[in-house]
Structure 1
C-alpha cells in the first residue's frame, strides 16, 4: 500500500479541510441557515431551560417574573431586527431605549443572536451558571451544524451579547437591589396577616411594589376595592367566606382537589415527617404561564417571531401584575384562611395546599394569570383550546381548556379549593389582572383594547363555583 510522507500527509489534510470548508460554505446559503436557525424549537427549548434553572435556584414567583421579562425582552428586540413589522418596545415601555444597531452592510443570523441575547440575560440573572455553560455547548454545536459562516456566527453572537448587556443595564435601574433585605413588620392587629404553618416563613418580597414596572403609571393604578371587613359574626360576608373555604377543605370533590393541585405552582413545598422536614422544588406561576405559551405556540405552529411576541408580551404582563398585586397585598395585609380557621373554627384543619408566605388579598396567581391570559387572548384569539401538560413531570396531571380565559378562570378558583384564599381575594385578583393585561396590551401595541372591562357587578359571575 502506498503511503504518504508525514509532511505530505499534513499538507493533504490541510488542503482537504480547506476544500471541505469551502464546499460546505458554498452549499449553505444565508436563506438556508437562517431558515434552519429560525425554527422555533430551539427557542422553546431555551425557554424551558430557563424554567429548569429557575426551579433549581428556587427563585420566588415575583423574582421569576422579572427574569422571564428581561430575558424575553432581549430576545424579542434582537429578533425583530429581522422582522421590523413587529414594534420595538423602546419608547413603549418605561425608560427603555433602542438596542445597539447591527453593523450596516454586514450579514447576521438574527435567530442565533436572539437566543444568545436571551441566554446572556438569563445567566446573569440566575445562579446556576454551570447549567447554562453545558446548555450553550450543546446549542453551539446545533447552530454550527447549520452551516453558518464563521464570520456571521461570530458577528451574530457579539450582537446578542451587546443586546444582553443593554437589557441588563436597563434591569440594573429597576430598584431590585433597593428591595433586597427588607422584612415585613407584623402589626398583630385583628384580621392582619401572620406567618402560617407548616414553616411559618417570613413574608415574601414586601417591597416588590417598588420595582419599576414596564407599563404601569404606578403600582396603585389598578387598586381593587377593599376586602370584606374582618367579621366573625355568623352570616357576615367575611364569615361566609371563611365557612366556604373550611367546607372545601373538609369535603372536597375529586375535581376540586385535582384543580387545586394542578395549579399549585408552589416553588417550594414543605414536607414534614416527624422531626424532619424537606422541600420539593416545583414550577412557579409565571413559569407555568410561559410553558403554556410554549404549548400554544407549538399547537398553533407559530414561527419564531410570533412565539417571541407571545412569550415577551405575556412575561411583561406577568411582571406588571405582580407589582400591582403586591401593592395591594401589603396594603390590606389580610389574614390567611388557615389562621382564622385554626384560631376560631377548627384547630386541626389544614388547607389542601400549603399556604404561601404573604398576605391574602388579592390572590397573586389569580392576578398574574388573568393578566398574561388577557394579553395572550388579544394576541391569539378567544377560542384557543389547548391541553396543558406543563406540570405532568411534577405529578400534577394534565388538563384541557376550551380557551385561555377558561384556564385563568380555573386558576383563580383553584386557590379557594386549595384553602389558601377567600373568594373575594380570588375574584378581585382576577379582575385586577384583567385590567393590567388590558393596559399592557394597549401600551405594547399602541392599539385600543378590543373589549371593554366587565361591569363590577358581574364579577361573581365570572367564575363558576364548582
Structure 2
C-alpha cells in the first residue's frame, strides 16, 4: 500500500511543478506552505480509496474548513465561517490562544489532520504530516512554534470533525438500500461491471451554504417514450448519431474531463480498474492552480480553495437529489435495448441515474464562484490531469472550462443534451445562491477588473 502511495505522490509532485511553472512571480510564503499542496496530498488518498464523487466533495469541503477557520482567527479581512456556513457554530477557542504559533503552519497541517480523521485510509497521511514537520525543522522553525501550531491545527480539525458528524453521513448505511426500478424509463446498472447505484440517499446530507437539497430543482424532464417520433427518442438519437461522427477534438474533450473514479476495462474474464481523480477533485486542483497563477497570498488561497470545496459539496447534494428523484435511464441502456444492442459510449457510464449531469452542475457551480472571486477573463492552462493520465488544455475563462466539461459528457455518450443544458442552469443557480450569501458575509472579489 505504501509503495503505491509513494509512486502516486511522485506523479503529484510532477503535476504541482507543472502548475508552478506557469507563475513568473512566487508567493511571499514558502513553497512548502502552498495550501493546494496539502489538498493534492489528500486527493491521492481519495484516489487510493476510490472515493465516489459526492463523498469526495464532502471530504474536500470539511478538510478546508479548519484551515479557513484558523486564517479567519488571524486575519480580520476573512469573514468568520459561521457568517456563510449556515449551521457552523464557530470555534471561539481559536481567538483565545495565548501560545505563540504560526497560523499558516497550523492551517496547512489542519487540512492533513482533518483528512486523516475523515478518510477511510486517512492514516496514510501521518507520513505526510511527519514529512511536513521535518521540512519545518530543516528550515529552522523553532520547535515550540511547530508544537504549538500542530496543537492549534488539531483543535481546529476536532471542531470540524464534530461539525461533520451532524450532517447525517453516518446514518446513510442504516437507510433503505436502493433497488433499481423495473420501469422502462428508469435507470438500471450498466456495463461493464453493472455496479449498484452510488449514494442514492445523498439528498439527506446537510447542505453547507444553500438552504436545502431541493432549493435549486432543475426544469422538468422530457417524458420518456420509445416512440421514434417523440422528443425523448430524438435526444437519444442525438447521442447515438453524434457518437458515430466525433472529431478528434471532441474525443479529447471527453477523455480529458472523464474524471471517473470507477473506471474499469475488461479483457476476456479479467477486469482492470483505473484509479482516477473525481470531478470535484479536478475543480479543487484547478482552484489551487489558479490561486498560484494569480499569486494570491496564503489567506486568499485558503479562501478560494475553501469556497470551491463548499460549493462542490452543495452542488453535488443538489444534483444527487434530482438524480434519484427523476431516476432517468442512461443513453447506453436505452440504445442497447431499442436501437443498437452492440453500441457502446466512448466513456464508461457512471453508476447512477442520468438527470441532471453531475459534471454540468458542479462544473458550472465551481466556475461561477471562481469567476466571482478571480474574474471572467482568467486564462489558465489546466495541467492538473497529467498525473492521472490526461494531457493539458488551455482555457480563457472558468466558464469556458465549465462549458467544455459539460459538453464532454454528451460527446462521451453518457448524457442527453437536456441533462447538460438543465444541469448547466442548475449549477449556475446553486452558485448564485452561494455568491449571494458570501457577498452578504463580506467576501469580495479578489480581481480588480
Deviates further, 110-119 or 316-325: 110-119
- What's 1:317 paired with? 311
Give distance in 2, aligned partners of 1:322 and 1:129: 22
User: Equivalent residue for 2:119?
Assistant: 126
Q: For residues 105 and 46 of structure 1, what CA distance do their matches in structure 2 show? A: 26
For the residue of structure 2 that corresponds to 1:180, the secondary structure is: helix
Equivalences for 1:37-436 in 2 at 5 Å? 41-99=33-91, 100-180=93-173, 182-436=176-430
Aligned positions, number: 416
CA distance in structure 2 between the partners assigned to 1:381 and 1:228 by the alignment: 35
Given that 1:75 and 1:115 are in contact with CA atoms closer than 8 Å, whether structure 2 keeps it comes out as yes
Output the CA distance in 2 between the equivalents of 1:247 and 1:344: 14
Does the 8 Å CA contact 1:38/1:111 hold for their aligned counterparts?
no
Match of 1:15 in 2: none
- Superposition deviation, residue 105 in structure 1: 4.7
Whether contact under 8 Å (1:40, 1:303) holds in the other structure is no
* Larger Rg belongs to: 1
Do the aligned residues in 2 keep the contact of 1:442 with 1:448 (CA within 8 Å)? no
Equivalents in 2 of 1:108, 1:91: separation in Å?
A: 25
Change (3 A) 1:90 1:146: farther
Q: CA deviation at 1:38?
A: 6.1
Maintained 8 Å contact 1:39/1:303: no
Unaligned 5+ segments in structure 1 are: 1-34, 451-466
1:384-417 Cα deviation digits (max 9, x unpaired): 0111111122222111111000000111101000
Provide Cα deviations, 1:88-125, integer angstroms capped at 9, x if missing partner. 11142122012122445542200011112111110111
Is the alpha carbon distance of 1:367 and 1:427 closer, same or farther for their aligned partners in structure 2, counting shifts above 3 Å?
A: same
Separation (CA, whole Å) in 2 of partners of 1:330 and 1:256 = 29
**Offset of 1:149 from its aligned partner?**
2.4
Q: Secondary structure at the match of 1:192?
A: coil
Pairwise CA RMSD of aligned residues?
A: 1.8
Q: Unmatched 5+ residue regions in structure 2?
A: 1-26, 445-449
Contact 2:379 2:396 in 1 (8 A): yes
| Inter-partner Cα distance in structure 1 for 2:97 and 2:126 | 31
The CA deviation string for residues 200-238 of structure 1, in whole angstroms up to 9 with x for no partner, is 111110000000000122111001111111123234221
**Contact 1:37–1:112 at 8 Å: present in 2 too?**
no
1: CA distance, partners of 2:443 / 2:35: 28
TM-aligned CA distance change 1:383 to 1:108, over 3 Å: same
In the alignment, the residues of structure 2 paired with residue 80 and residue 38 of structure 1 have an alpha-carbon distance, to the nearest angstrom, of 20
Alpha-carbon distance, 1:189 to partner: 1.1
Give the TM-score normalised by structure 2. Answer: 0.89
Is this contact kept in 2: 1:39–1:304, CA < 8 A?
Answer: no
Alignment partners' CA distance in 1, 2:302 and 2:439: 14
Q: 1:331 & 1:38 partners in 2: Cα distance?
A: 48
Q: State the alpha-carbon separation in 1 of the partners of residues 187 and 120 from structure 2.
A: 31
Using the alignment, how far apart are the partners of 1:44 and 1:52 within structure 2? 13
CA contact (8 A) 2:50 2:261 kept: yes
Cα distance in 2 between the residues matched to 1:299 and 1:322: 27
1:301-324 Cα deviation digits (max 9, x unpaired): 111111111100011110000111
CA distance in 2, matches of 1:212, 1:428: 23
Runs of 4 or more, structure 1, over 3 Å off, are 35-42, 102-106, 447-450
1-structure distance, mates of 2:122, 2:325: 37
Which shifted more, 165-174 or 249-258? 249-258
Kindly indicate whether structure 1 or structure 2 has the higher relative contact order, using CA contacts under 8 Å at least 6 residues apart: 2
CA contact (8 A) 1:91 1:97 kept: no
